[in-house]
Amino acid sequence: MRTLEMMETHPARITVDTALLSRVIDSLVECAQTCTACADACLSEDMVADLRDCIRTNLDCADVCGATARVLGRHTAYDGNVVRALLEACVVACRTCGDECGSHAEMHAHCRVCAEVCRACRAACEELLAVM
């Protein structure tokens, strides 16, 4: 990911710590893609009927993190209110998904990876919220 490089070459003045912001975007992008993959891995499990909640929360988390990554990647006419509301939605989605995946992390390795990614993403979003 060339996220930081794209920020450093952006003509707008970015008022947030770009190293942190870049790390959050990368976390969000990774989380969106990992949750998409985890939903599909759960769908292929023999016990798919027991993984409905996990699939649903994975799909939600992917949608929220994906949209937030795109919004955070924009610096023209920055609006802190939209960003803050979205980061808060991400924290909720990542907590829900991290908890759900974490609850069967011992049974399914893809859920273990996904839980780790969701938790890291939630922590990154909270770190950014704290300095905004």
Nearer to a second copy, 18 or 127 (CB): 18
Structure tokens at 56: 């649903």
The contacts found for 104-112 with CB under 8 angstroms, 24 or more apart, are: 104/51, 104/54, 108/41, 108/42, 108/45, 108/51, 110/37, 110/38, 110/41, 110/42, 111/38, 111/41, 111/42, 111/54
For residue 77, give every residue at least 6 positions away whose Cβ sits within 8 Å of its Cβ, in sequence order, or none. none
58 binds a second copy (CB under 8 A): no
59 binds a second copy (CB under 8 A): yes
CB of 118 within 8 A of CB of 98? Answer: yes
Nearer to a second copy, 56 or 127 (CB): 56
124 binds a second copy (CB under 8 A): no
Amino acid at 95: R
Q: Which of 15, 17, 19, 40 binds a second copy (CB under 8 A)?
A: 40
Nearer to a second copy, 19 or 85 (CB): 85
114 binds a second copy (CB under 8 A): yes
Q: Which residues make up the interface to a second copy (CB under 8 A)?
A: 1-3, 5-7, 9-12, 25, 29-30, 33-34, 36-41, 43-46, 48-49, 52-53, 55-57, 59-60, 62-64, 66-67, 69-71, 73-77, 79, 81-82, 85-86, 88-89, 91-93, 96, 108-110, 112-114, 117
